[in-house]
Amino acid sequence: MGENVGREIELTVDRIAHGGIAVGRLDGRVVFVSDAIPGETVRARVSDDRKKSFWRADTVAVLEASEHRREHVWAAASLDRDPRGRVGGAEFGHIALAHQRELKRQVLAEALQRQAGLGPDDLPNPLAVDALPGDTAANGLGWRTRIRLHVDPQGRLGPMASRSHTVIPVTDAPLATPAVQAAIPFAERFTGLGTLDVLAPTVGEPRLVIGEQKPSVIREVVGEREFQLDDTGFWQVHRAAPVALTAAVQEAIDPTVFDPRADNLDLYGGVGLLAAAVADRFGPATRITSVESDERATDHASENLAEWVGASAETGRVDRWLRTLDSGASEADRARLRAATVVLDPPRSGAGGEVMQLLGRLAPAQLVYVACDPVALARDVALAAEHGYRLVGIRGLDLFPHTHHVEAVATLVRT
């Protein structure tokens, strides 16, 4: 800890950075400032000065407020609290909802320009980040169907403070759906436990998952379809996200390029949500293989995709699975792969160099890339360009209101 930690400074912030932190300068040094909005002048307290090139600081007072500033939607994260006692998980909660989406659009566009070398004319016009149904009317509240809370030494529940492992006890969770909020046992004590997950599936009652509890099977309804999965497994958090992503992926696929008889792939496929979206869009004869490293998720995907004769699910790490596919593919296999559409929904770190290189070697006709991290997406768009792929469409979705996170669905076509 340096001599400047705890020092209060005044500065004007001028843009938002990846990660949702505002950026300003003090005597030529970059300062990343939490709880500020571009255009504001704030007084901030330095929290980290270990790097010579930049400091981190937390807003403690707003001297000149943005027109987009609002009272924070979660009192436990508001400016009247000491920065060390503000909950994480709602870092945009002090910003008007429409402006949150504009800031996310800027971050997405900047990442594609800086990381992928795309100019303004290479991006869709307009590039937008769209709200999900119901969010505007609800002011971005009540959307989380799942929430993980941590347990402090006294057994009280709460999220962690931003960039900290300190648990902040709370008595409300305004981003959660009413069913989840009602199920959270705020008044109880859970001494000796690390985490408590609360979820409200679309079928059945809300439930608690305590610590490393053994998984049980739940069901989620998406449109007219039902999916089975573990209550401890991955599922989209926003109540409307599965329907929105299903539609976005269906729309992102160029039907003039899609071949239902090709060896189409759904990589990082989870329990088969997006593979089902593809098969629903292009009919019962569609061939598609979903690849997922979690064996239990793959088992569920096999059940969820059972009605499509050409659909299957395989367990494997995507990089290793593609490597095996590439090494053993016959000329006939390669022809079916060159005609294929590949949907990929990697974790926050993105697909990365080896996966993008293997996809470049296999040369499918189009890639539909679902991303929750703009910088990882932009890096992989640049890697795909090295193998002849061009970004022909991208759409942002605001699956995480009042946070900096943004989802994007991009289409890349081999030229």
Give the tens place of pLDDT for each residue, 333-365. Answer: 999 999 999 999 999 999 999 999 999 999 999
Q: Is the pTM of this model over 0.85?
A: yes
Alpha carbon distance 411, 381 (integer Å): 10
Alpha carbon distance 191, 213 (integer Å): 16
Distance of CA 277 to the CA centre of its chain: 19
Q: How would you class 5 by CB atoms within 10 Å of its CB: exposed for 0-12, middle for 13-18, buried for 19 or more?
A: middle
pLDDT of residue 1: 61
Regions of the chain where pLDDT drops below 50: none
* DSSP summary character for residue 137: T
389 is in an annotated binding site: no
pLDDT of residue 270: 98
Alpha carbon distance 101, 82 (integer Å): 27
- 14-64 pLDDT, tens digit per residue, is 999 999 999 999 999 999 999 999 999 999 999 999 888 899 999 999 999
pLDDT of residue 251: 98
388: CB partners within 8 A, 6+ apart: 360, 363, 414, 415
pLDDT of residue 192: 83
236 is in an annotated binding site: yes
Known catalytic residue at 372: yes
Domains and CATH numbers, the chain: 8-69 (2.40.50.140), 101-136+239-414 (3.40.50.150), 146-222 (no CATH)
One-character DSSP codes across 159-182: PBBTTS--B---S--TTB-HHHHH
Contact present, 377 and 348 (Cβ < 8 Å): no
369 is in an annotated binding site: no
- Please tell me which residue in 116, 175, 265, 372 is annotated as part of the active site: 372
pLDDT of residue 36: 98
pLDDT of residue 374: 97
Alpha carbon distance 167, 157 (integer Å): 8
345 is in an annotated binding site: yes
